[in-house]
Structure 1
Amino acid sequence: MTRGVRTLFVALTVAVSLLVTGTVMALTLGGVGNADGNGTGPQALADPGDPAHWTPQRMSRAKPRDPRADEGPPAPIAPPSPSGAPTGRGPLPDIVAEAKPPPVRADEVPRPYSGNTGTIAVGKLFFEAPDGPSACSGTVVADPKYPGRSNLVWTAGHCVHAGRGGTWFTSMQFVPAFNSSGQATLDNLGNPGPVAPFGQWWATSMATSDQWRAGGTNTSSPATAYDYAVVEVRNPDRSARSLEEVVGHAVPVWFDAPRDLARASAYGYPQDPPYDGLRMYGCTQDPRRMTVDPGVPPLLRIGCSMTAGASGGGWYANGPDGPLRLIGNSALSGAGHTWIAGPYLGQDARRMLENLKRKR
């Protein structure tokens, strides 16, 4: 193990110690961002800087990012069905399809996180925002340009760029299958390897939609329909092995998926109470529609109690050929934390990914 990797592991151990005592962790390496919030195309990042940037005090100030929709007081949370999955259905009438979905309590994902369910591809993003250290969730996705060798992470646009009048975020790092072993507890902080079982991957470039950069806000707006992003990372040991090869799984993105899917599952690392950001959770329900503006595509929405920190986490559904595919990402939640919503991935999302691929 190199001196640099040992330093990162020590920093991770300190950060987890802070988190389990009531703070929030952010672990990244220094980078360079573009201050022009109105720029176009992917943002290239410089090589990471000094890990000493991440002092315990700085890590303890990290906050999850989560745009909120303005709604009424919290509604009671209902437990999931015993099977954990809704029954099949046909297309719902518009008035029902647009209605607020029944609330569902998020289930903790069993450890170790598994490639069979795709949860091994979920992880945490840590980065610097203008208001300080921040955290989101993300998913390893397949790269059509490099089959079997993807270095791409799908997340929310608000996890890489501040939106209207804002900037690109910096010092971004992805930790796949974060805490898959469950050892990030007060009882075992001496072995940080299982906390980051596949290492800490530094971002080299990232892209989001033009709509999010131009119009994104911290509440629901037309730009929420385009609140998605993709981050390209590199191996922390600078070897040629890709993120997909190291993790062992990458989820294909399903653009233009049917809107009447009978089942969708959203995963992430919620950090606001009652959650602590150490554990992955998921919710499963039939996705409904949510119109934020008549001029943009409706969002997908499911009942879910996950809080801030789950933003950017992937939404999965069974593809026409059976295996799980990514159909969206968490981008917006209700004030009462009874539902979450995310953009529908249509041709605009496909063009964003293609734009990043052309720059490589």
Structure 2
Amino acid sequence: MTRGVRTLFVALTVAVSLLVTGTVMALTLRGVSHDDGHGRGPGALADPGDPAHWTPERMSRAKPRDPRGEDGPPAPSAAPGRTDPTPTWGPLPDVLAEAKPPPVPARPVPRPYAGEPGTIAVGKLFFEAPDGPSACSGTVVADPKRPGHSNLVWTAGHCVHAGRGGTWFTSLQFVPAFNSSGQATLANLGNPGPVAPFGQWWATSVATSDQWRAGGTDSTSTATSYDYAVVEVRNPDHSARSLEEVVGRALPVWFDAPRALAAASAYGYPQDAPFDGLTMFGCTQDPRRMTVDPNTPPLLRIGCTMTAGASGGGWYATAPDGSLRLIGNSALSGAGHTWIAGPYLDQEARRMLDNLKRKR
């Protein structure tokens, strides 16, 4: 091979290599739908090529995602002859498992959202789904690996992944305390100031449960008991300040919380009528059990009239030491919008969080 031919060969090899590498990098930055087999999504979801993707106008077109539950008995009977071991959460009388709680009218959270304990940690999560711009709710939670410096947002699994046969969603962005001032309306969403008081935080990594990815659907399914997710975000101004530091709050996650709690409060941004997705609402009631499948943990359920859009919003409870903690997230609502339900956060949920942390 002559020197000229050898030089041309090397040049072509480098060019092809750069082209392939560039293609892979572009796919990664756009959040291509793949994972590493441990419930973790693409390693880089932020799209620095389009930092203004989520304009207020595009936010206004985002449709809420909310699996719909049945108002009738949701629990299927076990298969004949099945000999599954007794679940660790103990037997549950049917009358308790399926007792529908009385409805509680959703109440608007007083503005600014820093006024009520913990509500400043709630925000809206925007993402691109196969059918277009979508929205859910989420909550800033504490990061045990980085005390006081958390960049983690807790939400529902169906707000990050389509479930069975589906893909990871892309262009995830979290807006904490969305419209805290109350100045934003559907008519003036062109002004981002009132919409995002703490900025717009791009997702950099995400995780959900293996059960949700394998079996999640748009209605009640056994995977509903595992319909939770955690998203890691980065500061939009590229500084070292964390989400927790900027917002001023991050709730510890209370895994294996007692089920017999006196009260639980659910927060979110309901968007379907009669709501418009511009205001945070909340409901408080003693949580009841709701069985989806005898072999999966019963859900937590409270009466609440919030509609789609509240999915992923945090459920709060007061621990014995007086601290406010996150015990779950909204994942399912009844057809008549008289109740909402969410997964019980047990050791499976802790493992999901650990899976995300192990990659960092």
Select which of 11, 32, 35 maps to 2:33.
Answer: 35
1:358 aligned residue: 358
Query: Superposition pairs for residues 297-312 of structure 1, below 5 Å?
Result: 297-312=297-312
Mean CA deviation greater in 94-103 or 295-304 = 94-103
Please say if residues 330 and 340 of structure 1, whose CA atoms lie closer than 8 Å, have aligned partners that are also in contact.
Answer: yes
- The change in CA–CA distance for 1:276 and 1:187 in structure 2 (over 3 A counts) is closer
2:9 aligned residue: none
- The change in CA–CA distance for 1:46 and 1:315 in structure 2 (over 3 A counts) is closer
Does 2:190 match 1:203? Answer: no
> TM-score, normalized by length of structure 2?
0.82
In structure 2, what is the Cα distance between the partners aligned to 1:100 and 1:70? Answer: 11
The SS at the match of 2:246 is: helix
1:12-60 CA distances to partner (integer Å, 9 max, x unpaired)? xxxxxxxxxxxxxxxxxx9522434794332212431314655788555
Q: Percent identity?
A: 82
Mean CA deviation greater in 317-326 or 189-198 = 189-198
- CA shift for structure 1 position 62: 2.0
Does 2:288 match 1:288? Answer: yes
In structure 2, what is the Cα distance between the partners aligned to 1:292 and 1:348? Answer: 17
Larger radius of gyration: 2
In structure 1, what is the Cα distance between the partners aligned to 2:133 and 2:349? Answer: 27
1:181 aligned residue: 181
2:243 aligned residue: 243
Count of residue correspondences: 312
2:297 partner letter: P
Unaligned runs of 5+ in 2: 1-27, 73-91
Please say if residues 152 and 232 of structure 2, whose CA atoms lie closer than 8 Å, have aligned partners that are also in contact.
Answer: yes
Query: Superposition pairs for residues 102-181 of structure 1, below 5 Å?
Result: 102-114=102-114, 117-181=117-181
2:323 aligned residue: 323
2:348 aligned residue: 348
- CA shift for structure 1 position 61: 4.0
- CA shift for structure 1 position 207: 0.1
- CA shift for structure 1 position 352: 0.4
Please say if residues 122 and 177 of structure 1, whose CA atoms lie closer than 8 Å, have aligned partners that are also in contact.
Answer: yes
In structure 1, what is the Cα distance between the partners aligned to 2:136 and 2:36? Answer: 22
- CA shift for structure 1 position 131: 1.1
In structure 2, what is the Cα distance between the partners aligned to 1:312 and 1:61? Answer: 19
CA RMSD of aligned residues (A): 2.2
Does 2:232 match 1:227? Answer: no
In structure 2, what is the Cα distance between the partners aligned to 1:225 and 1:38? Answer: 22
In structure 1, what is the Cα distance between the partners aligned to 2:345 and 2:95? Answer: 22
- CA shift for structure 1 position 114: 1.8
1:176 partner letter: P
The SS at the match of 2:175 is: strand
- CA shift for structure 1 position 190: 7.3
In structure 1, what is the Cα distance between the partners aligned to 2:194 and 2:56? Answer: 20
In structure 1, what is the Cα distance between the partners aligned to 2:248 and 2:64? Answer: 27
In structure 2, what is the Cα distance between the partners aligned to 1:52 and 1:264? Answer: 36
2:218 aligned residue: 218
- CA shift for structure 1 position 192: 3.0
In structure 1, what is the Cα distance between the partners aligned to 2:324 and 2:112? Answer: 19
Please say if residues 37 and 163 of structure 1, whose CA atoms lie closer than 8 Å, have aligned partners that are also in contact.
Answer: no
The SS at the match of 1:224 is: helix
- CA shift for structure 1 position 287: 0.2
Mean CA deviation greater in 230-239 or 191-200 = 191-200
2:46 aligned residue: 47
In structure 1, what is the Cα distance between the partners aligned to 2:302 and 2:246? Answer: 32
1:285-335 CA distances to partner (integer Å, 9 max, x unpaired)? 000000000110000000000000000000000011101100000000000
- The change in CA–CA distance for 1:64 and 1:114 in structure 2 (over 3 A counts) is same
1:23 aligned residue: none
- CA shift for structure 1 position 95: 1.9
1:141 partner letter: V
1:45 partner letter: A
In structure 2, what is the Cα distance between the partners aligned to 1:260 and 1:95? Answer: 16
The SS at the match of 1:241 is: coil
In structure 1, what is the Cα distance between the partners aligned to 2:297 and 2:186? Answer: 45
The SS at the match of 1:356 is: helix
2:84 aligned residue: none
